[in-house]
Amino acid sequence: MATKTTAKLKTTKKIGKKTFVVASPEICFWVNSGPIVRSLPDLVEALKTMSDEQYSYHVNDDKNDFSRWIEDVLGDKTLAKALMKYKTRTGTLKAVSARLKDFYKI
């Protein structure tokens, strides 16, 4: 008989008056041959250091893994939708950084 797991998959971190999601290891984002991302600030740091090849593994004409993860795991539909138009690492980095500054006041 299967048992119900009680592990927390997400936690939240409060910055000022806003709260953002921090993913647990089970649902974090694993950059291809790179770092593990648990939150938007983690994603900013990963985008700064990943190669264009690593980025292209996750974002191309057929998919945008970052957008999907942000919507499905972090629950930020606004940012997820905005990221669909970016096909470069620098564009994605600017969009995520701007979202952190505008929405979360980081």
Could you please report the per-residue DSSP string of 3-38?
Answer: -------EEEEEETTEEEEEE-TTT-EE-TTS-EE-
List the chain pLDDT tens, one digit each, 106 residues: 343 333 455 665 555 556 778 999 999 999 999 999 999 999 999 999 999 999 999 999 999 999 999 999 999 999 999 999 999 999 999 999 999 988 766 5
CB atoms within 10 A of CB 47: 22
pLDDT at position 106 is 58
pLDDT at position 10 is 61
Give the residue extent of every domain in the chain.
15-103
pLDDT at position 103 is 72
CA distances from 24 to 8, 9, 12, 27 (A): 7, 5, 10, 6
Tokens describing residue 90:
């620098």
Burial (CB < 10 A; 0-12, 13-18, 19+), residue 7, is exposed
pLDDT at position 12 is 58
